[in-house]
Structures are given as C-alpha cells and as structure tokens.
Amino acid sequence: MSKLYVGSEIGQLRRVLVHRPRRALTHLTPSNCHDLLFDDVLAVERAGKEHDVFTQTLRDQGVEVLLLTDLLADTLAVPEAKEWLLTHQVSDYRLGKTFANDVRCYLGDLPNIELAKILTGGLSYAEMPMKSSSMMQGLHAPTDFIIEPLPNHLFTRDTSCWVYGGVSINPMAKPARQRETNHVRAIYRWHPSFAGQDFIKYFGDNEQVNYDNSTIEGGDVLVIGKGTVLIGMSERTTAQGVEHLASGLFKHGQAKQIIAMELPKHRSCMHLDTVMTHMDVDTFSVYPEVVRKDVKCWSLTGDESGAVNVKEEGYFVTAIEKALGVDKLNLITTGGDNFHAEREQWNDANNVLTVKPGVVVGYEGNTYTNEKYDKAGITVLPIPGDELGRGRGGARCMSCPIERDGI
C-alpha cells in the first residue's frame, strides 16, 4: 500500500481524489444556483467531458485518480458506514422522524452506486417514489429538495486536506457545503484504502462537535514543504480554524511553522489558491490586486503540548523565502492589462495544479497568464474550462492530493 502523505505543493503528484459531478449539475437551475454557491448553470454533458480531459491529463502524468462517487459507493458496502451515513445525512432532525425513516428505508434498498449518486447529487420530492404518511410531501413542491444536491463536491480540495502525514477533515463555512464533510469522514473511516492505515486526523473528524466559528477549507491551505504550511484567512477560513489545525500539526510533530495571511473577504478571492499557487520550488503565481505587500501576516509555531505561539510577521514573501530557504521568490503575476488580469483571475488563471516541479494543469482559456507562465519556464498542460470554470474553481480546486512527494 502506498503512503498517505503530502509533503509539498509541487513534488511529484502520485494520488489524487476528484469528483465528476453529474446528478448535482442536472439539479442546478437559475433559481437555485446562487443558494448552491454557483454563479451560473453549467452544461452538464460538456462539464463532464471537460472533467474527463482533466482526469486523463493527470493519468498521462502518472497520477492515480480516485473518483469520489466510486469511493463513496465502496464505503457504503460496509454496513456500519452505510448506517452511519444514512443516519447523519438523512437525520430525524433534518426531515422529521416519520419522513426521515421513510426516506432512509427507500435509500437503504438502492444499489450502493445509486445511493452514492443521490447523496452527492440530491433528491427532489418528484424523484421519491414512496408515499409517506408524514406531512412533508404535502407541504413541498415536486421541485423542492429532500436532499439538496452538492455541486461544490466538484471542488474536492476544500472538504479535506492532507498535510504531511495526516489529514484535516474540514468543517465548512457555508451550509450548502457542510454535508460534504460527512462523505469524506465516512470514506477515511471505513473505505478499505484508508481504514486501518497509519495516518493522523488533525482536526474535524468528530461529527458530534459543533465546530462553530472554527471553519477551514482546503483551498486556503498550501503545503509549501520543508515543514511549513501557508494558510489564507479568507471568506471561508477563520483564524480560529487555523489555530486548531496548527495545534493538531504541532501536537503530532508534523509541521514546524504555519504562515497565516489575511485575505479580503469577497467572492473573487474565495480561497488563497484563487489568488496564489506554488508552481516550482521558488516560483508562485499571484494576483497582485489581492496579494499585496501590506497583507497582514502571522507566524504560528508550537510543540507537542499543542500550544500555539503567534508572532506578527512583516512582508509575507520574506516569511516564505525564509521558510523555504530560497534567496528570492519568483512571483508570476496574472497576465495581460488590468482588464485581462481581472478577467483571467476570475476564471482561475492563478488556480493551477502542479503535478511536478514546473509542470502545472490550468485552463486553456487564460491565454495571457499561460503565456507568462510559459515565458518563465513553467509548462502548462491546458484543459478546457468553459463550463467547469463557472463554478469558480480551477484545477487545484478540483483536486485533493492524497499522496505527493516532498521537496
């Protein structure tokens, strides 16, 4: 069995978790997409084909690609896992005792792959063939959801993040995404690839806990290597969440330092990786409008007691240079004039996935930025993103590395 370990952002990528959504996208409409955190409705077939090009590009680079729906279906084959997921995702408090029980009975009899698709893709009242004695069906329109779809599962980066020898199972900031976390909890607990494996769970594994304001999403977490983690405090990741993850890392001796940066709280820079990613040992892509010199920055250190010491830092670039032991960082800014740069950042020009040092996967439409990467000696493996990009996430957002070499 290969090792569950992510030692950097840029070392050879070996195993990655992705999700090819279909059912969830068919449930996305102009009237509900904003509640589901999408800016637009995607063409389902095209989005699927684009995702297939993405996964094939990864396989061509020697990366093993795990698909979330398959992992979930395999996990549901474990009776304890199935019972746990149905109890938590279709709870009595969510749907009322009678209706929850009826829905669980219906779902429990489905083949595991069908059940996995419904848990991630949603179930409307019209799609429920059973008649329940509860009041719920009479109170809802056919297009209302019994189980809301999870189109953001496409962005497997956020729900959990592997940092060195362990994983953070992330409490998500937005209600539209909170159910996603239980799927990865179940997979890491019961799936044969993970159950009984030797890895640490730093934070977020306990479904009994209300994590309240301690939210964290993987798009804000960059494992830059050499014992350092760079985390953005964004619209979705709080200082409280960062402190909890830091404490878990220090307690298990997995990291020496966390560099935490403050980001503006708006949608165009939802996560750190939408404005900054690591492409080669000394090279980052940055969107300068957001990643400015005056960004507030702290250094967190600690020890096995789990206590966290915080010290304010000056320029974040200097802190990164010191952590990585490089003389000068090479920052490649988003391409084109101000208009081009703003458009390309919105279309995830900065959100690239590095598969090995100096080789990245990115959307082909970001021509100005890709040209700059090319001139700087970074190879871009282009993928189509006309549909996928409408969810506001690029190749890094759509991938959760589970195994990757250090630097």
> Which among 278, 323, 331 has a CA at the least distance from the CA of 297?
323
For residue 130, the model assigns a pLDDT of: 92
Q: How many CA atoms are closer than 13 Å to the CA of 45, on its beta-carbon side?
A: 0
Of 85-94, 307-316, 386-395, least confident by mean pLDDT is 386-395
Sort 39 into a burial class: Cβ within 10 Å, 0-12 / 13-18 / 19+. exposed
pLDDT at residue 347 greater than cutoff 80: no
For residue 2, the model assigns a pLDDT of: 66
> Which among 201, 235, 183, 210 has a CA at the least distance from the CA of 72?
183
Cα angle 229, 233, 237 (rounded to 5 degrees) comes to 95
Q: Rounded to an integer, what distance in angstroms lies between the CA atom of residue 115 and that of residue 11? A: 36
| pLDDT per position as a tens digit, 319-331 | 999 999 999 999 9
pLDDT at residue 48 greater than cutoff 60: yes
pLDDT at residue 38 greater than cutoff 60: yes
| Region 206-227 average pLDDT | 96
Cα angle 285, 288, 293 (rounded to 5 degrees) comes to 110
Does an H or E element contain 270, and which?
A: none
Go through the domains of the chain in sequence order and give each one's CATH number. 5-70+151-404 (3.75.10.10)
| Region 371-393 average pLDDT | 92
Phi and psi (nearest 5°) for 327? -70, -50
Q: CA-CA-CA-CA torsion for 342, 347, 350, 353, nearest 10 degrees?
A: 180
Q: Rounded to an integer, what distance in angstroms lies between the CA atom of residue 154 and that of residue 307? A: 35
* 400 vs 368 pLDDT, higher one: 400
Q: Which of 33, 297, 397, 400 is catalytic?
A: 397
Q: Is 297 a catalytic residue?
A: no
* pTM of the predicted protein model: 0.95
Q: What is the mean pLDDT of the chain?
A: 94
For residue 1, the model assigns a pLDDT of: 45
For residue 40, the model assigns a pLDDT of: 77
- R_g over Cα of the chain: 21
Buried residues in 89-121 as b, exposed as e (16+ CB within 10 A): bbeeeebeeebbebbbebbeeeebeebbbbbbb
| pLDDT per position as a tens digit, 183-203 | 999 999 999 999 989 899 999
